[in-house]
Amino acid sequence: MDALQLIIFDMAGTTVRDEHEVEACFAQAAAATGLRASAARILAVQGQAKRAVFEQLWREQLGDSAPAAERMGRVDHSYQVFREVLEAHYRTAAVLPTEGCLELFAYLKSHGIRIALTTGFYREVTDLILHRLGWDVNLDAQRRGNRHAVIDLSISSDEVAEGRPAPLMIQKAMQVFGISDPRQVWNVGDTPSDLESGRRAGCARSLGLVNGTHTREQLAKCPNDGLLASLAELHQLLQAEVQLAHPA
C-alpha cells in the first residue's frame, strides 16, 4: 500500500452506473445507419474509443476492397448519430455513481491516493457525465482537480493518440502526476479492454468489476489480477491491506 500512488478507474459500468445503456445507444446508431452489429459484438468492444469501433465494424462489413472515402463517410455518419443518441441519453436519464464509489473515492483522497477517470467516450460527453454527477466541481481547464475535488483527473479517449486497449490514457495520467513506475498504479474497469490496457501499462494490478457490463465468467477469460463484485469490495480490499501493512 505504501507504494500505491494512483488508481485509474473506467467510467460507464465502473464508477458510473450502466445497465447496458451505452450498448443500447450504440446499437440504435448502428441500426439507423445500416451497420450490422450483434449485441455480442457490441459488448465485446465496450470500453474502446467509440469512433475507432465504428471504423473497425464498417471495415469488417464493407471489406478492405471498399473505397476509403465510402467507408469513412459511413463511419462519420454512424459516429455522428451515436453522439446525438448518447448525449440525449446522458442529458435526460439518471446518472448515478456505482455501488461504493463515493465512499471509496473519499477513502482514497484521505490516504493521498490519486483518482484518475479514463473512458472510451469523447470529451464533450465525458464532461456532460461529470457535470450530471457534480464531479466537475473544482476541476480546472485540464480536468485536474484540487484537494477539494471528488476526483483528481479526467482523461477521455480523444485526448490521446489511441484509446483502450492501448495504455496511453493510463500513461498520460502517470505523466500528469509525475509517476514513472507503473507498479505504483492500479487499474480498475469492467471490460476486457480495461483489463488489457492495465496489463499493457504494466500496472501493479489490473482489476475487473463484475457488476458492470461484463459478468464474472466473461471477465475470467481475460488476464487479470482479481475480479471484484463492486467498488465496495475494492474499498474493503484496500482497508485490509492497510491493516496488514500497519497493524495496530
Beta strand pairing call for 6-10 and 205-209:
unpaired
CA distance 248 to 5: 23
> For the whole model, what pTM was predicted?
0.89
Q: Which pLDDT score, from 0 to 100, does residue 247 have?
A: 59
Residue type, 8: I
Nearest to 104 by CA among 178, 13, 201, 15: 15
Residue reference for cell 496488514: 244
Q: Which pLDDT score, from 0 to 100, does residue 19 have?
A: 84
Residues 6+ away with beta carbon under 8 Å from 179: 5, 6, 185
Q: Which pLDDT score, from 0 to 100, does residue 246 have?
A: 58
Each of the 248 residues of the chain gets a pLDDT tens digit; together they read: 559 999 999 999 999 999 888 899 999 999 999 999 999 999 888 888 889 999 999 999 999 888 999 999 999 999 999 999 999 999 999 999 999 999 999 999 999 999 999 999 999 999 999 999 999 999 999 999 999 999 999 999 999 999 999 999 999 999 999 999 999 999 999 999 999 999 999 999 999 999 998 999 999 999 999 999 999 999 999 999 876 655 55
HSE-up of residue 41 (Cα within 13 Å, Cβ side): 14
Q: Which pLDDT score, from 0 to 100, does residue 20 have?
A: 87
Residue 202: which region, alpha, beta or left (left: phi > 0; alpha: psi -120 to 50)?
Answer: left
DSSP string, 1-49: -TT--EEEEESBTTTB--SSHHHHHHHHHHHHTT----HHHHHHTTTS-
Tell me the helix, strand and coil percentages in the chain, rounded to 5.
50, 15, 40
CA distance 248 to 241: 13
Residue 153: which region, alpha, beta or left (left: phi > 0; alpha: psi -120 to 50)?
Answer: beta
3-class secondary structure, 215? coil
CA-to-CA dists, residue 31 to 26, 103, 177, angstroms: 9, 39, 42
pLDDT digits (tens, 9 = 90+) for 124-176: 999 999 999 999 999 999 999 999 999 999 999 999 999 999 999 999 999 99
Cβ neighbour number for residue 171 with a 10 Å cutoff:
19
CA distance 64 to 67: 8
